[in-house]
Structures are given as C-alpha cells and as structure tokens.
Amino acid sequence: MEAARLPLTIPHLDEQATEIWRLIGNGALATACDVLRQIDRQLKALTRSSEQQP
C-alpha cells in the first residue's frame, strides 16, 4: 500500500545512470559524483513528498 503512493521513478533516471558511467569511463570522477549527489537529492525529495501525503 505504501508503494502505491510513490511515483514510479525520478525523471530521467536511466539517462543519469548512463551519464554517470560515461563520466567514470572518461575519468571525470568528480563530475560523476556531482550527478550522483543530484540523484540523491531527487530521491530524498521523493521520500519527503511521499511522507507528507495522507
């Protein structure tokens, strides 16, 4: 029942994951970490919004 209140995913997650692996492959680890932090913020926002729903 709780999962029914959550959105299916964060927007463009598959593209972000692809970008992270591309950056890692190119040695751009700091930029890859920035993208991972962005995803982390989006996931935290999802959980906060789901906690606020009745």
> Domain residue spans in the chain?
11-52
Determine the pLDDT at residue 31.
98
Determine the pLDDT at residue 37.
97
Q: Which residue has the higher pLDDT, 3 or 31?
A: 31
Q: Give, as one character, the DSSP assignment of residue 12.
A: T
Cα–Cα distance measured from residue 52 to residue 38, given in angstroms and rounded to the nearest whole number: 21
pLDDT tens by residue, 4-54: 665 557 888 999 999 999 999 999 999 999 999 999 999 888 877 666 655
- Return the residue matching tokens 């995913």: 9
Residues 6+ away with beta carbon under 8 Å from 35? 16, 19, 20, 23
Determine the pLDDT at residue 47.
79
Determine the pLDDT at residue 6.
54
